[in-house]
Chain A
Amino acid sequence: MKLNQIVFPLALALAATLATTGCKHQPMKVTPIPGSQAAPVGDNGGGGNTLPGAGTLPPDNGAGMNTTPGGGNTAALDTFEGMVKDPAALAANTIHFAFDSAAIKKSEDANLSTVAQALAGNANDKLLIEGNCDERGTEEYNRALGERRALAAREALAKLGVSPDRIRTISYGKDKPADPGHDESAWAKNRRDDFILLHPKTGV
C-alpha cells in the first residue's frame, strides 16, 4: 500500500506537470474500467453482465418459522395450509373504514355478525381477513395500517365468539384496490377488510 501511496501521486503529479506545460491534449493517466458490471459496493468482484435470477422456492425452509403463538399472537400459518379460499361466501360482508383509521364503525356490526355466524355454523371452516387501504398513505405505512384493520376485525370477531386461532390476516396495503380510481368515492371503497371463508382441502 505504501508503494501505491507514493507512486500514484507521482504519476498524477507527472500528468499534471505535463498538462500544465503544454501537453493538454495528451492525458497521461488512463483508468481502465474492469467489466461492465461493477460491484455496487465493497468486495465482490462483479463478474458477468447478468445477475443470476431467483432460484425456485422450496416450500418451507429458512430459520425460525412458525414459532409457538401465545397471548394475542396470530395463528400459526401452517394451520391454514392447503385450505381452499371461498371469496364469494362473505363477499357481501366487506367492512369499510374512515380515512387513516382502523376503528370498526358501529354500522359494520351486522356484517361482523354474519361473518361470525358463518364460522359458527361450519366448525371446520376458517377465515382469512384481507386488510386494505386507499392510496393516500406511504406504501409501508399502509401495509401496517391494512394489517391493523385486519387485526381489528379479528378482535371484533373474537368478541363474537370466534376463536382467533381460526383467523388468518393478510395486509395488501394499497396494492389491491377494489376500485382503482383516484377520488374519494374510490378511496372509500378501498379502505376495507374483505372476508374470505376457508374450507378444508378435502372439501367436505
Chain B
Amino acid sequence: MKKIILAVLTIGLAAVAPMGARAQEINIQSEINVMGQTKPIPISLSGFTGEGAEVLKFDLTVQGFSFVTPDAAQYLVSGSDAGGITGSLTDKFAKRVLLSRSYNGASLRRQAHAFADDIVLAVTGKKGIGQTKIAFKSQPSGYGAGEIYVADFDGANAQRITTDNAIVAKPAWVPGRLALYYTSYALDNPDIFYHSLTTGQRRKIAAYSGLNTSAAVSPDGAKIAMVLSKSGSANIWVCNADGTNLKQLTYGVQDSSPCWSPDGEWICFATEKSGSRRLAKIPAGGGTVQYLKTVGAPNPTEPDWSPDGKWIAFTSQMGDFNICVAPADGSAPPTLLVGGQNPSWAPNSRTLVFNRSMGYRQVLSVLDVFTKQYKDCVRATGSSSQPAWAK
C-alpha cells in the first residue's frame, strides 16, 4: 500500500510542478540542449485522426519530439479526437502513465493544443507553446501594401488587425498584453503606431520626418526602442510607451532592428563597423556600444534575444538568408540552422518563428533550434513575413 501511495504522489508532482526538482527527474533527453544537434525525443501517436493528429504533430515536432513507431518510442500517446480530444501519455521505459485526460469546450484545435502543452509539461517540465499567438505582416504580392495579422502560433485562425491598404512592417507585442506596436505608411510616412487589440484603438507613437520603424517593447512594457532618422541617419532611439521622453541611443551610419535583453538592461541591434555589418549591444539607458562576435555568419541583421537571456537569434546574409543562433555571452560561435529571415523567439526559448522563401513569396515557419526540426505554418494567401511571437 505504501508503495502505491508513493508512486501516486510522484506522478502527481511530476505532472504539475513545472520547475520542481521532481519534474526534472523525468526530464531525460531534453537536458542535452546542443544547438541544432540535440536528438529529438521519440514519441508515438495512435488513435488520433485529421485535425487532432495534425495539431499534435505540429506542436510536438517544433518542441523537440519526433514521431516514430510505438516500438521505437520512449513515450506513447494514444487517444481519440472523436467528439473532443481524449488522450493519455505513457512513459514506456518507466512504465508509467503520465497523463490521462479529456478536453472539452472551444474548438478541437484548441483542445489538441492544450493536450500538446500537457504532454510537453509532463515530459520536459517546461510550459508548452501550443496556445500562444503570433503577429505578422502579410502582403498580396511579395512587396508593397499589406496588413498586420494576428494568428495562433501555427498560423491558424489568422485575423486581420489593420485595414490600411498601405505598406506595414514589424509588428511587436507588448509583453503580457493584447496590444501591438507596428509601422504603417497609412499617412504617407513610415510611422509607428500603438494598437490595442481589445479596444481596436490606435495611436501614433512616432511620426517624425523620415524613418519611424522597428518598434521593440521593453520587457516591462514601459519603453519602446525603435529606428528613427530624424537626426539625419537611421539610428536607435528609445521613448516611453506613449511616445514621450524621446532619447537617441546610437550614432552609427546605419542602425536597424533593435531588440531588448530579457532583463531590460541591453538593446541589441544591427549596425555597421568599419564598413562591415555587425550586431552590437548598448545599455538601454545609453553608453558604450559593444560589438558581438558572429564569426562565420556574415552580414548579421534582425537580432532577437531569447526570453531566458541565453541566446541571440539573427539573420545572416550569405547570398541567401539563414537563421543563426549565438550564445548571448559570445562564448561560442553562431550555429547556422535553416534558410530564412526575421527570427522571433517563443516564450520557451527553444522554438523560433521565422519566414522563409517559397518561390518569390515568404511563408511563416516554426523551428525547434535544438533539433533543427521545422514545420511551415498554415498557409495564408500572399506573402507573410516579420512574425513576432507573443510573450
Question: Chain B 2-28 against A: per-residue CB contact (8 Å), 1 yes, 0 no?
Answer: 001000110111011000000000000
Q: Is the CB of B144 within 8 A of A175?
A: yes
Quick check: which of A14-22, A87-95, A106-114, A115-123 contacts chain B, the rest being far away? Answer: A14-22
A160 at the interface (CB under 8 A from B): no
Q: Is the CB of B110 within 8 A of A32?
A: no
Residues of B within 8 A of A169 (CB): 209-211, 229
* A76 to B341 CA separation, bound complex (whole angstroms): 34
Q: Is the CB of A24 within 8 A of B186?
A: no
Q: Is the CB of B104 within 8 A of A33?
A: yes
* A19 to B107 CA separation, bound complex (whole angstroms): 26
B41 at the interface (CB under 8 A from A): no
A203 at the interface (CB under 8 A from B): no
Q: Is the CB of A52 within 8 A of B198?
A: yes
* A65 to B242 CA separation, bound complex (whole angstroms): 11
Residues of A within 8 A of B141 (CB): 180
Q: Is the CB of B100 within 8 A of A24?
A: yes
B230 at the interface (CB under 8 A from A): yes
Residues of B within 8 A of A102 (CB): 254
Question: Chain A 115-143 against B: per-residue CB contact (8 Å), 1 yes, 0 no?
Answer: 00000000000000000000111111101
Residues of A within 8 A of B12 (CB): 9-10, 12-13, 16
Q: Is the CB of B207 within 8 A of A77?
A: yes
| Segment 13-71 of A: residues with Cβ below 8 Å from B | 13-20, 24, 27-44, 47, 50-55, 57, 60-67, 69, 71
Q: Is the CB of B201 within 8 A of A13?
A: no
Nearest-CB residue, chain B, relative to A66? B208
Asked if A143 meets B169 with Cβ closer than 8 Å, knowing A40-B133, A43-B177, A69-B230, the reply is yes
* A172 to B159 CA separation, bound complex (whole angstroms): 25
Nearest-CB residue, chain A, relative to B199? A52
Among B131, B144, B176, B204, the one with the most A-chain Cβ atoms within 10 Å of its Cβ is B204
* A195 to B147 CA separation, bound complex (whole angstroms): 27
B132 at the interface (CB under 8 A from A): yes
A185 at the interface (CB under 8 A from B): no
Q: Is the CB of B9 within 8 A of A9?
A: yes
B213 at the interface (CB under 8 A from A): yes
Q: Is the CB of A36 within 8 A of B106?
A: yes
A188 at the interface (CB under 8 A from B): no
Residues of B within 8 A of A34 (CB): 105-106
* A198 to B380 CA separation, bound complex (whole angstroms): 39
Q: Is the CB of A141 within 8 A of B257?
A: yes
Asked if A72 meets B209 with Cβ closer than 8 Å, knowing A51-B150, A138-B315, A140-B169, the reply is no
B256 at the interface (CB under 8 A from A): yes
B82 at the interface (CB under 8 A from A): no
Cross-chain contact of B214 among A39, A73, A140 (Cβ < 8 A): A140
B20 nearest CB across to chain A (Å):
11
Residues of B within 8 A of A136 (CB): 317
Asked if A63 meets B244 with Cβ closer than 8 Å, knowing A24-B88, A33-B106, the reply is yes
Nearest-CB residue, chain A, relative to B149? A51
* A36 to B108 CA separation, bound complex (whole angstroms): 10
Question: Chain B 174-207 against A: per-residue CB contact (8 Å), 1 yes, 0 no?
Answer: 0111100000001111100001011111111111
* A38 to B103 CA separation, bound complex (whole angstroms): 15
* A43 to B178 CA separation, bound complex (whole angstroms): 9
Q: Is the CB of A63 within 8 A of B167?
A: no
A170 at the interface (CB under 8 A from B): yes
B164 at the interface (CB under 8 A from A): yes
Among A37, A60, A136, the one with the most B-chain Cβ atoms within 10 Å of its Cβ is A37
* A114 to B256 CA separation, bound complex (whole angstroms): 32
A141 nearest CB across to chain B (Å):
5
Residues of A within 8 A of B177 (CB): 41-44
B97 at the interface (CB under 8 A from A): yes
Among B150, B211, B213, B270, the one with the most A-chain Cβ atoms within 10 Å of its Cβ is B211
Q: Is the CB of A74 within 8 A of B200?
A: no
Residues of A within 8 A of B164 (CB): 54
A194 at the interface (CB under 8 A from B): no
Residues of B within 8 A of A145 (CB): 254
Residues of A within 8 A of B159 (CB): 50-51
B302 at the interface (CB under 8 A from A): yes
Q: Is the CB of B4 within 8 A of A17?
A: yes
Among A66, A73, A138, the one with the most B-chain Cβ atoms within 10 Å of its Cβ is A138
In the assembled complex, 7 residue pairs joining A and B whose CB atoms fall closer than 8 Å, in A order, are A31-B101, A66-B208, A67-B246, A71-B231, A74-B231, A147-B234, A170-B188
B-side residues, CB < 8 A to A, are: 4, 8-9, 11-13, 15-16, 86-88, 96-98, 100-107, 110-111, 114, 118, 131-133, 141-144, 150, 157, 159-164, 167, 169-170, 173, 175-178, 186-190, 195, 197-211, 213-214, 227, 229-234, 239, 242-246, 253-257, 270, 301-302, 315, 317, 321, 341-342, 347, 360, 385-386, 390-391
Given A40-B132, A138-B341, A170-B189, 16 extra CB contacts under 8 A: A16-B8, A16-B97, A29-B102, A34-B106, A41-B391, A52-B198, A53-B161, A54-B161, A57-B202, A62-B207, A64-B243, A72-B231, A75-B209, A137-B317, A139-B386, A141-B270
